[in-house]
Amino acid sequence: MKLSGVEIVIECLKKEGVEVVFGIPGGAIMPLYDALYNEPSITHILTRHEQGAAHAADGYARATGRVGVCIVTSGPGATNLVTGLANAYLDSVPLVAFTGQVPTNLIGTDAFQEVYIGGITSSITKHNYVVRRAEDLAGTIKEAFYLARTGRPGPVLVDLPKDVQLAQANFEYPQKVNLEGYNPTYMGHINQIKRVAQSIAQAKKPLICAGGGVIAAEASSELRDLAFKAHLPVATTLMGLGSFPETHPLSLGMLGMHGTAYANYAIGAADLIIVLGVRFSDRVTGKLAEFGSQAKIVHIDIDPAEIGKNVPVDIPIVGDAKRVLKKLNELITPQEKVEWLKMIEDWKRKYPLKYEDNQELKPQYIIEKVYEITQGQAVIVTDVGQHQMWAAQYYKYTEPRTFISSGGLGTMGYGFPAAIGAKRGCPEKRVICISGDGSFQMNQQEIATAVTNDSAITVIIMNNGYLGMVRQWQELFYDKRYAETNLKGNPDFVKLVEAYSGTAFRISKKEEVYPTLEKALALNHFVLIDCVIPAEENVFPMVAPGSPISKMIGVD
């Protein structure tokens, strides 16, 4: 069957089960957009910035577990994807990005809107391609989706020269992919798994540290089976929130720089730490030399490059978390560590998460009320900053893919477009975006995307008039020299939303929180709530940079 290049791209997307793509057209990608115009099975969401398209595809992927897709033009269209690709790469999100490119005969001539996007993104994609023949399109796209979703997931970029889009070629979609040198290990070594089972039996103070890899591997059920069977307390990283129910007594909540005191103390006291799908970033470990210094460390990860990269490991296991845990669960025997669990309960009583609950409108109180009114049944998407940490601390996550946030890159402006993508992927779920007045303004143009696509998400802005997290660091470590963190000139967010024909509310008092949330969540369309909170409210606990995670500011 002979088709044009763009018809081949469309057929490939259909073969991969793609139902929605996010993007913005332009000259070099116009043929593909013309083909999409007549394709009823694929919905295109027009964002107002290419970064918004990348983040929306990312949010869609995290919420659904499927591959997110975005399409943009060449030159600035492609370079505007860079932050979104880097964000997806660091958080292991499956994404395929299609970029337009100048015709092949003009590549290298500095033609209008020409950049070498493959070179620009080589370090922030799992792989990227420039397709120079229409005959190679089907095989390339098949490989792109395969690479994005297998092994350690990640973004893949496919660059499409304009003449390749228009050329004719026979279409046949490959049944299989065989990439020499790419063969992810899924089943961990059985002897290593047996060693872990023995170590659990022998340990007096064991715990689990679960990361985003557990969610990516769809291994939450197996994690819960392990924790319940062996009576193991579970701490999660920011990316691991939702992998284990935080309402369960075995939950330690989040560990690390802004983690719970009891999670951080438990890491320091443990004699066995089973680490699942974690990168050991500095925000998790604090001072590396003192992270889990009393413990034997087991590290289970699909990516062999992560094992031993930052923290020495006693029992390394390369493999898929779901398969490894399933086998481990067959080998362990129930054995409750009574004294250890009592110690943890004592820490929980002595060092709970807390804030000064007075007559002011506190962000922690708002998050607690969001949890109360949704009964934990919502997908929470955040931007980056203080509000992100409050959302991580004060909302209890019980299911995977219900907390969506930028972890590794810490991308301000991520949350709002990601929430649009998450809602498109899970229209039956309630999606709430927690943002800040700084973060929201980085992609606030996507209000138009939310309104025109009838995206029923609720955005809650924690408006403190500052770049809050940077200001907090300036307060604690720079003698309150608030250098360029005061957001003078903020817009009236209610009027801004109304200018886009959307609905918005403002609250400044505690008694307004619950009724406004009830009103907003009852509306089946886009709503923004501007919450005026104290300018100098801080996130605690906090581990100072370079300190061990057992040494926390704000813990009595």
Candidates 113, 192, 335, 445; catalytic one: 113
Region 2-170: CATH code: 3.40.50.970
Give the pLDDT mean for 353-377: 97
Every domain of the chain with CATH number 3.40.50.1220 lies at: 190-350
**444-461 tens-digit pLDDT:** 999 999 999 999 999 999
pLDDT one-digit tens code per residue, 189-237:
999 999 999 999 999 999 999 999 999 999 999 999 999 999 999 999 9
pLDDT of 367 above 90: yes
What is the average pLDDT across 65-87? 98
Angle at CA 132, nearest 5°, toward 130 and 137?
A: 80
Taking 90 as the threshold, does the pLDDT of residue 552 lie above it?
yes
How far apart (Å, rounded) are the C-alpha atoms in residues 538 and 536?
Answer: 6
Q: Is the peptide bond before 541 cis (omega within 30 degrees of 0)?
A: yes
Q: Which residues sit opposite 433 in a β-bridge?
A: 381, 459
Does the annotation count 469 as an active-site position?
A: yes
Percent of the chain beyond pLDDT 70? 100
How does DSSP classify residue 466?
B
Catalytic residue among 142, 143, 145, 162: 162
Mean pLDDT of the residues in the chain: 97
Contact yes or no for 70/81 (Cβ under 8 A): yes
Query: Is residue 494 pLDDT above 90, yes or no?
Result: yes
Of 412, 469, 542, 552, which one is the catalytic site residue? 469
pLDDT in tens, 95-150: 999 999 999 999 999 999 999 999 999 999 999 999 999 999 999 999 999 999 99
Model confidence at 556: pLDDT above 90: no
Rounded to whole angstroms, the Cα distance separating 500 from 514 reads 26
For CATH 3.40.50.970, list the domain ranges present in the chain.
2-170, 363-532
Q: For this structure, is 389 an active site residue? A: no
- In whole angstroms, what is the distance from residue 556 CA to residue 554 CA? 6
What sign results for the dihedral spanned by CA atoms 307, 311, 316, 317? negative
How many CB atoms neighbour CB 319 within 10 A?
22
Let me know: does 529 contact 543? Beta carbons within 8 Å.
no
- Give the model confidence (pLDDT) of 276-287 as tens digits: 999 999 999 999
CATH topology of domain 190-350: Rossmann fold (3.40.50)
Task: Choose which CATH entry (3.40.140.10, 3.30.479.30, 3.40.50.970, 3.40.50.300) describes domain 363-532.
Answer: 3.40.50.970
Q: Is 58 helix (H, G, I), strand (E, B) or coil?
A: helix
What pTM does this model have? 0.97
Instruction: Provide the pLDDT for residue 1.
Output: 79
- pLDDT attached to residue 335: 84
Alpha carbon distance 201, 189 (integer Å): 19
**Can you tell me the distance from the alpha carbon of 35 to that of 40, in angstroms, rounded to the nearest whole number?**
10
Instruction: Identify whether 162 is a catalytic site residue.
Output: yes
